[in-house]
Structure 1
Amino acid sequence: MSLSRITKTILLIFIVSMMGCSTDTDIPSEQIEEFNASVKSKVKFNFTTSLKGGNEVPANDSKAAGEAIIKISKDETYLEYKLIVANIDDVRMAHFHMAPAGTNGGIVTWLFGLADPPIDVNGILAEGVITEDDLTGALEGASFKDLLDAIRAGNIYVNVHTIDFPGGEIRGQL
């Protein structure tokens, strides 16, 4: 093969390969929908956490325990929750608070209370639905997506308050 023919072959290969590097950004809508569905399928919609006195800040030696179960709607406009507790007396209230693990934060929505008089519970303390209208404190007036982003980032915790532990007897980070 002559040098001229080799040069032409290399040049042809180069041109063909450069055509594959087009900057055309038209992506078929089906591919975009598939990609979005794939990303959405990896987004977490269900959360559970164990509530213990040792998770409180500062930690306490309460024998009470609990579990919070959170299910976010597929359209992300509401969430359902169930709060189950055991061995806990004089419950006053329960909330979602916003702060990372190891720190305390303000209330962003109510789950239960204000019970007056306080109640003793061994079972379901509260269950219900939370929407954007239920947001308070740092999230008052914010979008529901802001709460969901905080949950998914691990910056929301469930706190159950009692007479003996007004700052919170049991806590669990979502």
Structure 2
Amino acid sequence: MKTYTFLLLVLSLIFLGTLTTLAIEPIPISQNYQYMAILSGDEAIPPQNTGAFGKAYFSISQDMDQITYQVEVYNIYDVLMVTLRLGSPGKEGSLIVWLFPENPPPTPLKYKGLFEGVLAEGIITEDRLAGRLKGFPLFSLVQEIENGRVFVQVDTLLHQIGELRGQLLPNP
């Protein structure tokens, strides 16, 4: 009987540990990307109380002429846009690249209501740079990323100045 109780306890702990892991880390980490941003409402300016979350992955080509990206979001409603912005952690920033859509937001919304999954993916080249980096080589953006001055921002109808935000950091 003690063996059965012990086995049941061990299996319960394993099962609960699996559930806890899934609840904390629902998005798989990609090892193919050099930079990553964890997107949350806590990082937005001002901070937002939201159940939405996400991750964004960025990979710079060896010759630094393009950056591949993918943005995943979960439990988010009525996404207007996703942008790369130039700014230090905790500070507002200026738009430097449209990630979703690739140009200023269309009307009506592309995805109305709840969205979960890959929202945006593509390739950034220097012709997509906007704002303070428009007309500069892509290497200027790479330098700003490496200096920790670039973040991803997700705007929604409810939070048009940012529902989610995350600073680009080296992928561990």
The TM-score bracket by the shorter chain reads: 0.7 to 0.9
Secondary structure in 2 aligned to 1:146? helix
State the match for 2:95 in structure 1: 107
Stretches of 4+ moved more than 3 A in 1?
A: none
1:98-137 aligned at under 5 Å gives the runs: 98-113=86-101, 114-118=105-109, 119=111, 120-137=114-131
**Letter matched to residue 154 of structure 1:** G
State the match for 1:18 in structure 2: none
Answering whether residue 80 of structure 2 is matched by residue 92 of structure 1, we say yes
Uncovered stretches (5+) of structure 1, i.e. residues with no partner: 1-44
TM-score under structure 2 length normalisation = 0.73
Aligned residue among 139, 145, 149 for 2:139: 145
Aligned-partner Cα distance in 2 for 1:131–1:57: 28
Secondary structure in 1 aligned to 2:74? strand
TM-score under structure 1 length normalisation = 0.73
Cα distance change on mapping 1:169 and 1:117 into 2, 3 Å:
same
Q: CA deviation at 1:121?
A: 1.4
Aligned-partner Cα distance in 2 for 1:115–1:54: 27
CA RMSD after TM alignment:
1.0
Question: Percent of counterpart pairs with the same letter?
Answer: 36
**Letter matched to residue 72 of structure 2:** I
Structure having greater relative contact order (Cα 8 Å, sep ≥ 6)? 2
Answering whether residue 45 of structure 2 is matched by residue 63 of structure 1, we say no
Q: CA deviation at 1:116?
A: 2.6
Aligned-partner Cα distance in 2 for 1:116–1:91: 12
Q: Which has the higher helix share?
A: 1
Aligned-partner Cα distance in 1 for 2:143–2:115: 31
Structure number with larger C-alpha Rg: 1
